[in-house]
Every structure is written in structure tokens, then in C-alpha cells.
Amino acid sequence: MNYRQLAKALCDHRGIAEVGEYGEVVESGRAYPLLRLTVPGKRWLVITAGFHGEEPAGPLTLARHLPAIAAWARERQVGLSIFPCINPSGFEARTRYNASGEKPNNDFLRYETSPGTWKGELRFGEPFTRHALFHEGPKETRALRPVLDALPAPAAALDIHQDNWMVGRHTYAYVFGPRRAYLPLMRAAEAHARVAASCAVHDDVWTDGHGFVHYNDGSITDYYMRRGVPYTAALETTTATPLEACHRVNLVWIRGFIELAAGAQAPTVRARSSSGSGTS
């Protein structure tokens, strides 16, 4: 499926969700509309997908299963703010970055670890003095950041990815917030893909025994954690996992996050940047 077909599939859900555009990017002389889907509700879940173009399962799950997703959300009065394909030209070519090769594209925060030294990622336990919203990067990320930052902090945020390096049919997740809340989701996902427990996923970054990673990597997940969102995760399935199984895993987590959002207290403190010290 190319981006035009994806956009059509998403727009065909008008009536189930409000379909709008939050911007447009031009790559290789072609204009790509940046789509956003909204389902109204009382407490909000933000779902993002398609930062990395070689990870198509998230956008495809959203396009194919939006009616069921919207129905689950409406049942629980959870509003959905969905950004289904953040990097359209990458999706089109199945390349990680956009057609201009701008990277990295899931880059939202910087941490000051000593006066004047700012880093995009913290090693586990690394102290820092403050964090701030990053304002540069690829055009797609620059288009998305102010839209997200203008929204009230949601009750939950789920970012859907895939892992193009790990061999085999696996799933794992970068998470912040209480891990016990995510354990049932990982158990349910295990019916469709093996949980990548206690294994390296990135340099010296490892999953724990349940397939969870705690990593302050400056990503959108980290950004939402710093904004006080109680449930925030980046879900991974390997690209070696059959697409149908990826859909099942993605739907387990989407439904789970709708339920978590329904029960969550939305954060009352806006914590986009901080002058306080902390650790990762």
C-alpha cells in the first residue's frame, strides 16, 4: 500500500472519525498531506504511528481497524487523537527517514547533563539538571511537535513502531509508568509474537524479563512522560512478524491503552520543560 492508498483508506473512515490535516510536507516535488483523525471523548489517548517508514504495520493497523478502535473508545468515552502516518514519504518508499534523508525523526527532548551540555539520550540512572523541548529536526517532526504541544496532556499516549533489526517474530515495548499496568497487554500479545525478554534491542539497551525497556531517549514517549502522562509506551513488533500478527499485537495495546486512559487521571501539571534536577 502506498501513501495515497493509505490516505484514502483513512479518509474512508470519515463519519467514524473526523479526518483533518495538521500540515503538509513536500518531498521529491510531491506534496504529502499530514493526516490526523479525531474521535471525541472525555479523557484523551494520543496514538502516533509511522515515524519510521520501514515500519508500516502501525499505519496499516490504524487504517484497517479504525472502526473497531473508535467503537472501543466511544464505549469508554475516551477521545482519540490519532496521527496515523507521521512520515509519509518514508512510508511511500519504506525507508526509515524521509525522502530528503532528514534524521532522526522521533526526537523531542534534550537533557542538560552538565552546564551547557545537552544530550538527546540518557544512560540509565544518568543525572540531569533540566530538560527542554527540542525544536529542530526533520520537517515532519517540526510539523508535529507544536500540534502535540498545544494539546492538553492526554491521559495516555501510545506510539506504534516496528523493529527492523531483531531476527524472528517478536514484540517488546519502551514504557514509562507502572509496569504492572502493561503486563496483561504483553501477556495477551504473546499469543501473536514471542516477547523479546532480556535481550539487547539497541547498543547496550536491554529489555527486562517482561519485554519492557526503560530508556530516556528523547522520543515522543519520553516527552509525554515528562509532561506527566501516566501511561506512555512505544510498542514494537519485528518487521519479520507477519502483518496479521502485528495487527493483533497493535490492537491488544490500542485497546489496553483505551482502557488505561478511561481509568487514568489526566495530568494537571504541564511539564514540557523543567529546571529541576533528576535522574533517568
Report the residue number, 124 or 165, with the smaller CB distance to Zn ion.
Answer: 165
Residue sitting closest to Zn ion (CB)? 161
Task: List interacting residues with Zn ion (CB under 5 A).
Answer: 52, 55, 161
Q: Distance (Å, rounded) from C-alpha 201 to C-alpha 117?
A: 26
Report the residue number, 104 or 263, with the smaller CB distance to Zn ion.
Answer: 104
Helix H or strand E segment including 125: none
Report the residue number, 27 or 236, with the smaller CB distance to Zn ion.
Answer: 236
Q: Distance (Å, rounded) from C-alpha 58 to C-alpha 253?
A: 11
Chain position carrying cell 530528503: 100
CA of 98: how far to CAs of 9, 53, 200, in Å?
A: 21, 8, 27
CB of 166 to Zn ion, least distance (A): 12
CB of 38 to Zn ion, least distance (A): 24
What dihedral angle (degrees, nearest 10) is formed by the CA atoms of 35, 41, 46, 48?
Answer: -30
Report the residue number, 27 or 55, with the smaller CB distance to Zn ion.
Answer: 55
CB of 239 to Zn ion, least distance (A): 10
Report the residue number, 52 or 139, with the smaller CB distance to Zn ion.
Answer: 52
DSSP class of 279: E
CB of 173 to Zn ion, least distance (A): 12
What dihedral angle (degrees, nearest 10) is formed by the CA atoms of 266, 271, 277, 278?
Answer: 40
Report the residue number, 239 or 274, with the smaller CB distance to Zn ion.
Answer: 239
Q: Distance (Å, rounded) from C-alpha 36 to C-alpha 41?
A: 16
80 and 37 Cβ atoms separated by less than 8 Å: yes
